[in-house]
Amino acid sequence: MVMPTGGGKSLCYQLPAALLAKQTAIVISPLIALMQDQVTQLGQMGISAALLNSSLKASEQSRIMCDASEGAYRLLYLSPERLTRADTAAWLKSIPISFFAIDEAHCISEWGHEFRPEYRQLSSLRAHFPDRPIAAFTASATQRVRHDIVEQLRLRNAHKCIASFHRPNLRYVVKQCDAREQSSLLVKALRSYADCNVIVYVPTIARVEETVSFLEEQGISAIGYHGKMDADVRKRNQERWMSDEVRVLVGTLAFGLGINKAAVRAVIHLALPKSIEQFYQEAGRGGRDGLPADCVLLWQKRDAGLLSYFIGQIDDAAEKNRAWERYNEIRGFVESKTCRHLQICVHFGENPKWKSCGACDVCGSEPDWLSLQPKVQPAAARRTTVPSARQSASGTSQAPGKAAAAAADGAELREILREWRRVTAKQQGVPAFVVMHDTSLDELCRVRPTSLSELLHVHGFGERKVELYGEQIIGELTKFRDSANARRLLI
């Protein structure tokens, strides 16, 4: 199954697993952090799930393995490295397995932009479990990669479900600039997204530290994220960003795989990505809530030279050829005067009938901060303007005076609920989105339920969630309502 980032791939294997009683779906995932988040989320929904990896104590691993053999879990998450251990196959045969789900399946293909050799060994699944269904999921697989996934996993009569690669709520903006202009534009951009969550991607660890320091000098609070950072610091920084404590995160490509934050209003790249797939996947972390988001690529000529240098260091001839092919594709993408959305769709094998999107720089849509003077945009472009946090919270169209009051009221309530979520998540040691997604938070501000039964009708709140947090949320809403009424009486 090929679906864009945030398109609901996880639900496609979590839902059937939840419905299959006394059976266990085995999920192969490349990141421990991603597995931990999903297991925690499932637990909060009352769905039994566990993960097995080397970070657990031996006694905990043994307990999970025994429980799994007794069918205690609906979903069990493993790393590809764990699955390929000599003793794993024999143990798995003691589990009542419903099916296997391979997440980030493009990692299995040498043509995939994040190829991982250990994924290649997943082909052994068919030999060990010939009668168990195998499902593969990815957000960024070209036709060649899709064919390779089917071949490597030995899928029989594979049913391919390929969603459109067109993300109409995203605005793609590409601009070549020099170092000074890039820094200036970055500051202008982040100030224009002052109330929004933003990801800034840089190519190296050194650039992470440099960019965070530079932004701090400009009065813009930001935190860093990269693979060589101390694990506790890296986790803390991610949690601070996920809980909206800090709005801007500067990271290498190590950040983002499986990140489940819906309300990201901008993703800014400060270097040429290695491939169109990489850019599409990283840019796709914006606007997962379906609202408009800007995906900006500010690149320099030296980026191309740096990519060429690293390709020249590759010894394997086949791998080097694949790297050059990706290099030529991404150069073609940034230098072309063809619609950005159209180029991406065609790259992944989709052939849209339209030729102009109204939501990229080529088609005439750019954010105001990119121009010295704000430009009047065409109607299609204006529809993709990024909303402020206050507009998102109120979501209504009213007379100017009433609209301003409603927006302020909605923004105040959103901050109260966001702070409650942050504190609750910190107390429980889980990411803020596990307690409540941004989309649910916004709907709470709009609906403002007065009882637990009404809360059950709010998106994202099932019986388990209401049981865990319902009384507290209704309490916060009641206090806010009483406070607002008191202020109105004073006026």
**pLDDT for residue 400:** 56
Which string of DSSP letters, residue by residue, matches 115-130?
--HHHHGGGHHHHH-T
95 and 182 housed in the same domain:
no
Residues 325 and 396 in one domain: no
pLDDT digits (tens, 9 = 90+) for 138-184: 988 899 999 999 999 999 888 889 889 999 999 999 999 999 999 99
> Does residue 456 share a domain with residue 352?
no
What does pTM read for this prediction?
0.80
Whether residues 36 and 85 fall in one domain: yes
Please report the pLDDT score of residue 403 as a whole number: 61
Among residues 364, 382, 400, the one where a domain terminates is 382
Residues 6 or more apart from 423 whose CB is under 8 A from it?
none
Identity of the amino acid at 22: K
**69 and 194: one domain?**
no
Angle, helix 317-335 to helix 276-283, in steps of 10 degrees:
60
Residue type, 106: H
pLDDT value of position 34: 78
User: Of 382, 398, 417, at which residue does a domain stop?
Assistant: 382
Instruction: Copy the structure tokens of residue 40.
Output: 């925690």
Q: How far apart are CA 476 and CA 426, in angstroms?
A: 18
189 shares a domain with 223: yes
Q: Which domain holds residue 441?
A: 390-490
Q: H or E stretch including 97?
A: strand 97-102
Question: Could you tell me if residue 1 is inside a domain?
Answer: no
Shared domain for 337 and 249, answered yes or no, is yes
Residue-wise pLDDT for 24-66, tens only, equals: 999 998 877 778 888 988 998 889 999 998 778 999 999 999 9
From first to last of its 491 residues, the chain has per-residue pLDDT tens of 788 776 788 899 999 999 998 899 999 988 777 788 889 889 988 899 999 987 789 999 999 999 999 999 999 999 888 888 888 999 999 999 999 999 989 989 888 878 888 888 898 899 899 999 999 999 888 999 999 999 999 998 888 898 899 999 999 999 999 999 999 999 999 999 988 999 999 999 999 999 999 999 999 999 999 878 888 888 788 888 887 889 999 998 766 655 667 789 999 999 999 999 999 989 999 998 889 999 999 999 999 998 999 999 999 898 999 999 999 999 999 999 999 999 999 999 999 988 899 999 999 999 999 875 434 444 444 334 444 433 444 444 455 556 666 667 788 898 899 899 989 988 887 777 788 888 888 899 999 999 999 999 998 898 889 999 999 999 999 999 988 887 777 66
Give the total number of structural domains in the chain: 3
Residue 3: inside a domain? no
Read off the CATH number of the domain in which 272 is found. Answer: 3.40.50.300
Q: Residue 40 falls within a domain, yes or no?
A: yes
Q: Is residue 101 part of a domain?
A: yes
* Residue 281 neighbours by CB under 8 Å, 6+ apart: 5, 113, 139, 140, 256
Longest dimension (CA), the chain: 77
* In a shared domain, residues 337 and 394: no
Same domain, 312 and 429: no
- Answer yes or no: is 2 within a domain: no
CATH no. for residue 398?
1.10.150.80
Together in a domain, 114 and 13: yes
- Cβ 146 vs Cβ 348: under 8 Å: no
Regarding whether 116 and 43 lie in a shared domain, the answer is yes
Q: Same structural domain for residues 109 and 48?
A: yes
Hey, which bits of 214-345 come out as E strands? 222-225, 248-251, 264-269, 293-299
Final residue before a domain boundary, out of 152, 182, 201: 152
